[in-house]
């Protein structure tokens, strides 16, 4: 009986291994965060008319970017030594991001901007729960992973999900006063390795992780972006809120769930104050830019 039980377990394990380990995901906006330090000494050396000329040109471009439907940008006055200005671009493609980056580089303002860092990613909706449910359903129908029938069924489901989740794939930059951005990884090469955990266990942990975020609905807007193969970390997290204390409470509470406590690794945090293009002059003249709701 013991041998029979071991054989059944081995057969079951072999069957379970056929379930794809990689969860499905949907992608939306291409995202570029640009952080700059202003060269204040050079800026202050300009005459008042010269400063106004630079400000007007940049504000005109920023206003254009804020209103584009095929992609838009947000502007943030940064807190702390990590920079003075953050420009957040949402675009349809990396080509469009490159265009925005080059257009900014060719403004007169760029002569007074020193890049401190940047981050490249794409809006990503991880579909752990949908993936596990879909994989199980296809297996029950006798389909084998990565066969033509399997791939067609997955493609059909992805098309359906892409339509129902369009607003989350192509969101506006939330009209909230504060932004907290940070990159993160799931740990590898240590005693605990996220990428060696069974997909069903990962799905359970991510469900628990998501429940914490849902409790903050209405207080914070979260946009997750994937950066595997694009930048130095695996994900970027943008949190938008009208009360910055929400960032502290949410991130701290999430540290206690298993996905974060066992596997989460966090990068540098950047916090900024959201402002409209019309307030760029205030920033350049040494005043905190006002926030005007759309």
pLDDT band with cut points at 50, 70 and 90 for residue 190: low
- Collapsing DSSP to helix, strand or coil, 77 comes out as strand
Average pLDDT over residues 83-106: 98
CATH number assigned to the domain comprising residue 115: 3.30.70.1030
Give residue-wise pLDDT tens across range 236-246.
999 999 999 99
DSSP string, 37-74: EE-HHHHHTS-HHHHHHHHHHHHHHHHHHHH-SSEEEE
Looking at the domain assignment, is residue 1 inside a domain?
no
pLDDT(271) > 70: yes
Question: What would the mean pLDDT of 50-71 be, rounded to a whole number?
Answer: 93
128 assigned to some structural domain: yes
Q: Is 178 exposed, middle or buried (0-12, 13-18, 19+ CB in 10 A)?
A: buried
Average pLDDT value for residue range 8-27: 68
Q: Is the pLDDT of residue 14 over 60?
A: no
pLDDT classification of 287: cutoffs 50, 70, 90: very high
Structure tokens at 265: 């690794």
* Segment 81-91, tens digit of pLDDT: 999 999 999 99
Higher pLDDT: 138 or 254? It is: 138
pLDDT of 117:
98
Query: What is the reported pLDDT for 16?
Result: 46
Active-site option among 119, 128, 182, 216: 182
Number of domains composing the chain: 1
pLDDT band, residue 284 (cuts 50/70/90): very high
Residue predicted with more confidence, 125 or 8: 125
Instruction: Respond yes or no: is residue 178 known to be catalytic.
Output: no
Confidence at residue 214, expressed as pLDDT on a 0 to 100 scale: 72
pTM of the model: 0.87
Q: Is residue 16 part of a domain?
A: no
Residue 15 forms part of a structural domain = no
b/e sequence 193-215, b meaning 16+ C-beta within 10 Å: ebeebebeebbbbbeebbebeee
pLDDT tops 60 at residue 292: yes
pLDDT digits (tens, 9 = 90+) for 161-173: 999 999 999 999 9
pLDDT per residue over 35-49, tens digit each? 999 999 999 999 999
Shortest CA distance to 121 belongs to which of 234, 237, 31, 239?
Answer: 31
Nearest to 29 by CA among 85, 90, 107, 102: 90
Better-predicted residue by pLDDT, 204 or 174: 174
Say what the pLDDT of residue 188 is: 67
Q: Confidence band (pLDDT; 50, 70, 90) for 293?
A: low
The answer to whether position 68 is within a domain reads: yes
Token digits of residue 147: 């066969």
Whether 294 shows a pLDDT value over 60: the answer reads no
The pLDDT of 149-174, averaged and rounded, is 96
- Output the pLDDT for position 189: 65
* Residue 25 domain-assigned (yes or no): yes
Least confident of 30-39, 173-182, 206-215, 218-227: 206-215
Mean pLDDT in the chain?
90
pLDDT tier at 8 (50, 70, 90 boundaries)?
very low
Question: Is 76 part of a structural domain of the chain?
Answer: yes
**Domain of 105?**
21-294
Residue 7 is assigned to a structural domain of this protein: no
Q: Does pLDDT of 2 surpass 70?
A: no
């Amino acid at each position: 009986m013991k041998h029979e039980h071991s054989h059944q377990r081995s057969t079951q394990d072999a069957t379970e291994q056929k379930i794809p380990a990689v969860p499905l995901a949907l992608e939306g906006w291409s995202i570029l965060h640009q952080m700059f330090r202003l060269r204040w000494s050079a800026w202050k050396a300009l005459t008042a008319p010269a400063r106004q000329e630079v400000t007007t040109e940049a504000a005109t471009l920023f206003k254009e970017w804020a209103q584009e439907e095929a992609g838009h940008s947000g502007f943030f006055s940064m807190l702390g030594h990590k920079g003075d200005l953050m420009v957040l671009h949402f675009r349809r493609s990396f080509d469009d991001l490159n265009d925005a980056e080059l257009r900014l580089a060719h403004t007169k303002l760029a002569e007074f901007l020193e890049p401190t860092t940047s981050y490249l990613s794409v809006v990503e909706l991880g579909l752990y729960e949908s993936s596990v449910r879909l994989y199980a359903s296809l297996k029950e129908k006798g389909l084998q992973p990565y066969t033509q029938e399997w791939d067609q069924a997955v493609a059909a489901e992805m098309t359906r999900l892409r339509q129902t989740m369009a607003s989350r794939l192509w969101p506006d930059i939330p009209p909230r006063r504060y932004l907290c951005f940070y990159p993160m990884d799931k740990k590898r090469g240590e005693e605990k390795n996220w990428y060696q955990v069974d997909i069903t266990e990962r799905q359970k942990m991510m469900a628990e992780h998501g429940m914490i975020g849902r409790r903050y609905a209405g207080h914070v807007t979260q946009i997750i972006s994937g950066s595997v193969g694009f930048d130095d970390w695996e994900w970027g997290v943008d949190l938008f809120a009208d009360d910055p204390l929400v960032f502290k409470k949410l991130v701290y509470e999430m540290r206690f769930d298993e996905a974060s406590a066992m596997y989460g690794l966090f990068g540098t945090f950047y916090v900024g104050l959201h402002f409209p293009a019309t307030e760029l002059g205030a920033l350049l003249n040494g005043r905190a830019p006002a926030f005007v709701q759309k």
